[in-house]
Amino acid sequence: MIPFLDLITINAKYKKELKDACARVIDSGWYIMGNELTQFEIEFAAYCGANHAIGVANGLDALILTIRAWKELGKLKAGDEVIVQANTYIASVLAITENNLVPVLVEPNPVTYNLDPEIVRKAITPKTKLILPVHLYGQISPMQEIMRIAAEFNLLVLEDCAQSHGAEIDGKRAGNWGDAAGFSFYPGKNLGALGDAGAITTNDDELAQTLKALRNYGSHKKYENLYRGVNSRLDEIQAAMLRVKLVHLEFETSRRQQIAQKYRADITNPLITLPLVTDELAHVWHLFVVRCEQREALQKYLAALGIQTLIHYPIPPHKQQAYTEYQSHFLPITELIHQHVLSIPLDPTMSNEAIEQVINALNGFNA
């Protein structure tokens, strides 16, 4: 059996370091908002090249709280429009509607799955205030063009970096392009905690201070509340786990890139469309997503060979029960993507033998 992602093996590599870090927290007697979080925030901000990182409870909260902070600072208000690609994971859209802003779902570029600057430009109205590029599957969006459009129309940019830790363009990493960025450290993400965790990165001092208050009841100072905040803190145990795993992230990313390169070189079946890569360092391969018109048949065939695959994602946000008002939107590129995509195993701990097995299986598929 080749699992889609083997979290046991991934974390077993760092078992001793993780257990030591865990013990350090247990023995400290300090479990929330302490040294581990402060250090992780410094280390993760440095990794991204940003001035600030603010730890929160999960990736969804990172996005929700950033939009909320901009509302508190008077930069956004209810009813403002936010441009986001329609083929994203639902969290990107939930962050917008949770704040009573209006998602404007646009078709993605059909080969990169990311925002297409020309389509973004056409979707701008006088109500547009924010662009939310999701660096989907691990490939960073065309940020130079997106930032140029944002400057031209005076729009904010919030990167959804939940799948793209470390992806870069011209040496500048995801999370350091927009006005702010939301990260998830869900266990299966490229940088995964051993539970829920998330963070925001930004170079904006005022935004960072506002976020630090919002995640902790709206309080800058104990028992004084500036905002009606929430409890969305990243606890010391998870911060300590993340500090261990951050040290190894570059190695894991380069292993993902090697495996992806091998897949791209050796999978040659004309029934299967491989992902397009804009630049080798632009993609950190959170997912290796192929397209196939006979997707269901391919998935069954691979399952019979013991190869586990997943679909990211079977139903786009505008077709979800949660968003009935968007059901009639005409988004044919997005809908076709959801019918054709299949994510094949890509795990930094995969053996060369398993990689060969996946390649041979895909090459042997004939519908």
Ligand X SMILES: *Cc1c(COP(=O)(O)O)cnc(C)c1O
Footprint on this chain of ligand X (rule: CB under 6 A):
58-60, 88-89, 91-92, 134, 160, 162-163, 184, 186, 196, 198
Nearer to ligand X, 60 or 341 (CB): 60
Rg (CA), the chain: 20
Neighbour tally for 158: CB within 10 Å: 28
CA–CA separation, 159 and 174 (whole Å): 8
Percent of residues in the chain assigned helix, strand, coil, to nearest 5:
45, 15, 40
DSSP, collapsed to helix, strand or coil, labels residue 42 as helix
Task: For 144-190, give the DSSP string.
Answer: HHHHHHHHHHT-EEEEE-TT-TT-EETTEETTSSSSEEEEE--TTSS
- Under 8 Å CB-to-CB from 211, ≥6 apart: which residues? 54, 56, 65, 66, 69, 200, 202
| CB of residue 15 to ligand X, shortest distance in Å | 23
Nearer to ligand X, 301 or 334 (CB): 334
Eight-state DSSP code of residue 120: H
Q: Are strands 168-169 and 102-106 parallel, antiparallel or unpaired?
A: unpaired
| CB of residue 173 to ligand X, shortest distance in Å | 17
Nearer to ligand X, 309 or 362 (CB): 309
| CB of residue 159 to ligand X, shortest distance in Å | 10
Tokens of 320: 């979800």
The residues pairing with 219 across neighbouring beta strands, listed in sequence order, are: 225
CA–CA separation, 50 and 71 (whole Å): 22
Segment (H or E) for 97: helix 90-98
| CB of residue 60 to ligand X, shortest distance in Å | 4
The residues pairing with 31 across neighbouring beta strands, listed in sequence order, are: none
Nearer to ligand X, 186 or 301 (CB): 186
| Nearest residue to the partner ligand X, using Cβ | 59
| CB of residue 53 to ligand X, shortest distance in Å | 15
Nearer to ligand X, 131 or 272 (CB): 131
| CB of residue 40 to ligand X, shortest distance in Å | 15
Q: Are residues 246 and 185 in contact, defined by beta-carbon separation less than 8 angstroms?
A: no
Nearer to ligand X, 96 or 359 (CB): 96
| CB of residue 140 to ligand X, shortest distance in Å | 13
| CB of residue 82 to ligand X, shortest distance in Å | 14
Show the CA angle centred on residue 69, arms to residues 66 and 75, nearest 5°: 105
Nearer to ligand X, 87 or 257 (CB): 87
Nearer to ligand X, 166 or 361 (CB): 166
Distance of CA 364 to the CA centre of its chain: 32
| CB of residue 136 to ligand X, shortest distance in Å | 7
Neighbour tally for 40: CB within 10 Å: 24
Nearer to ligand X, 109 or 184 (CB): 184
